[in-house]
Structure 1
Amino acid sequence: MKSSTFILLCIFSFSLVHGQWIKEKGSGYSKISGWSLLADEHFTDQGKIDPNATRGLFISSIYLQYGLSKNVNFIAYLPLWVKNYQYAQISKTNGNTYEPRQVFNGLGDINLGMEYGLKTSGKWVLSSTLTLGLPSGKAVAGSDGSFQTGDGEFNQLIQLNAGSGFSIGGQNLYLKSYLGLNNRTKGFSDEVHTYFETGSQFLENNLLILGRLHWTKPLYNGTLDASNSNGTIFANNIESLVIGFETAINLGEQWGLSVAITHPISGKVIYRAQSYSGGIFFNF
């Protein structure tokens, strides 16, 4: 998904931060994930809640973060399989199918980025990130064109990241945040992203539990009309405030499993539904 939609998986579940710090040269982190969303409601462009035909999205992806040097990390998000689908619409009065089930499968929008570690300021660790959203997905698909796997635009997301560790009652925790500006093309409005994440480790640091909050705010400087979009995560002028929780457990020295859930608190032009994700991660 484009960097905006990648964060939108944010929006629904994937986090651009992943609870990780800058990786040392030659070390890395990877994650193979599945992410799922099923929605029969959406937020309108006025922030109200309207019903829609039951639509679903499933994404299988690989995330990679690798240390190229002491201060530079390479980041890649590869949505290798995106399934965009809609349940059949069946009349409750006569049982007839008036709209058949539709499914479209394809590659999603790939994201490639670089993160640069800035000097530490007191207890805070600072870094900056540039992420390029490549239009590798299908922007128009299905009978009405809305079963796309990408948005068809090239964008650039610039972030300033900050992280710190602290202790409450003898329990060590961390806090990470970023402020980002997503420059979008082809008539899409630019976006401001604000993100906060906090968590702590348990069971001799083998279990991580975290919570996150992500706000996406469009600048409404695009030309595409989004007033008739029934949700989706590819529309223009998407606005959302999303809360999420994730837990990850180490099952070996270099690998483990994670599961996550997110819920949109409020929004505009976005599905109103929880998303679920799970994956296997590796440290190397």
Structure 2
Amino acid sequence: MMTTRSITRYARVLVLGLGSCLFLFNSPVLAQSGWTKEKGEGFYQLSFQSFQSSDYYTLGGELLNTNKFSQQSLVFYGEYGLTDRFTIIANLPLQTWNGFETTETVSGLGDLRLEFKHSLLKKYLPLSISVAPEIPIGRANNFAQSTVNDFEEINLPSGDGEFNVWTTLASSFALPNAPFYGSIFAAYNFRTEYEEVSFSDQIAIGAEVGYKVANLVWVNARLNGLNSVDDVLVATDFVRGDGTEYTSYSFGASFPAYKDFHLNLNYRNFADFIYSRRNLYSAGTWSIGILYQRKPNEK
């Protein structure tokens, strides 16, 4: 029988978008569920993600072939149960490396996302609400020099420079006699501004199912969508993700490694099932991570 502490969750960083200029946006679709941790229970993961693409979708949805862009990130993700109904979550890109084929690679700390999650219903149909401010501690301006023309440079920030807040409502279920679970969520991102440029708010939706194979390996599949509240018709200068829309799908697996340590593998890509791709680079993202789960009775 599956328990809440046997469900593994993942964090990941998204890609950059490029209009007439470059946009950086944080991942709004971290794994969401209706469960909260038990008091004293912890979940901690260190993961590495890699992405590269030359396929860029404009604000109007047109596909352009550009100079290849690549991004790698080392990300810490953690959850801790302060009480049985209240969990605090942190997501922090410890280092993000960005670069084009014709530029140097620049790196920096990313923005910190702190999520405060409260259980509304816990026993029969788990339901939670969370509030997650994203604190702009990353490098909002991080210029990479061209390797072709030494007088040219492009801003490849590791943080978006903007304070914003995600509010998420999520629900989950687990079958009582089979290692199978499912979750759905809806979220609203209240955005502010960066250097006097205001951004459109966003809406995210998502669903996830998971199954434990041979009572050993957890596998999962996710479908997520992101949509802008307002129509963004003009790409501003070096601002972050304004007008970005997409549908994404992902597949993951978690393998036991040693005692309470597990190995996580994940693949994510984009499509047009729900929302068409706009203002982003589109390609597959691979990630590998090591996670540790601390049970409440551990000292």
Q: TM-score, normalised by structure 1?
A: 0.83
* CA RMSD, Structure 1 to Structure 2 (Å): 2.6
Aligned partner of 2:203 in structure 1 is: 192
Look up the match of 1:117. Answer: 119
Q: Which residue of structure 2 aligns with residue 220 of structure 1?
A: 230
Deviation at 1:171, TM superposition (A): 4.8
- After superposition, the Cα gap between the structure-2 partners of 1:221 and 1:131, relative to the gap in structure 1 and judged at 3 Å, is farther
Alignment of 1:135-146 (within 5 A): 135-142=136-143, 143=145, 144-146=153-155
Query: Is residue 80 of structure 2 the alignment partner of residue 70 of structure 1?
Result: no
Post-superposition offset of 1:226 = 2.3
Unaligned 5+ segments in structure 1 are: 89-100
1:150-181 C-alpha deviation (Å, 9 max, x unpaired): 111000000001001238xx753211111000
Q: Which residue is equivalent to 2:62?
A: 48
Q: Deviation of residue 276 (structure 1)? A: 0.7
**CA offsets 1:106-149 (integer angstroms, 9 cap, x no match):** 00011111110112474x21001111101111122215443111
User: Hey, what's the Cα distance between the residues in 2 that align with 1:85 and 1:7?
Assistant: 16
Q: Secondary structure at the match of 2:155?
A: coil
**1:161 and 2:170 matched:** yes
SS in 2 for 1:268: coil
Mapping for residues 66-105 of structure 1, pairs under 5 Å? 66-88=80-102, 101-105=103-107
Is residue 244 of structure 2 the alignment partner of residue 238 of structure 1?
yes
The equivalent of 2:185 in structure 1 is: 178
Cα deviation, 1:28-59, whole Å, max 9, x if unaligned, reads 10000011110111111111211111111111
Distance, in Å, in 2 between the alignment partners of 1:77 and 1:128 is 17
Cα offset for 1:195?
0.8
Q: 1:261 aligns with which of 238, 250, 267?
A: 267
Offset of residue 25 of structure 1: 0.6
Distance 1:239 1:226, change over 3 A: same
Deviation at 1:70, TM superposition (A): 1.3
- Distance (Å, rounded) in 2 between the aligned partners of 1:63 and 1:189: 27
Query: Structure 2 vs 1, CA of residues 279 and 6 (structure 1 numbering), >3 Å: closer, same or farther?
Result: closer
- 1:251 shift after superposition: 1.8
Query: Match of 2:76, SS?
Result: strand
**1:12–1:274 Cα contact (<8 Å) kept:** no
Query: Which residue does 1:129 correspond to in 2?
Result: 130
Cα distance 1:159–1:20, how it changes in 2: closer, same or farther (>3 A)?
closer
Report the counterpart of residue 91 of structure 1 in structure 2. Answer: none
Could you tell me how far apart the structure 2 residues matched to 1:19 and 1:203 are?
24
Counterpart Cα distance in 2 of 1:84 and 1:162: 35
Letter in 1 for 2:46: I
Distance 2:107 2:172 in 1: 37
Identity %: 24
Residue pair 2:140, 2:159 contacting (<8 A) in 1 also: yes
Shift of 1:8: 4.2
Aligned length: 259
Corresponding residue for 2:282? 272
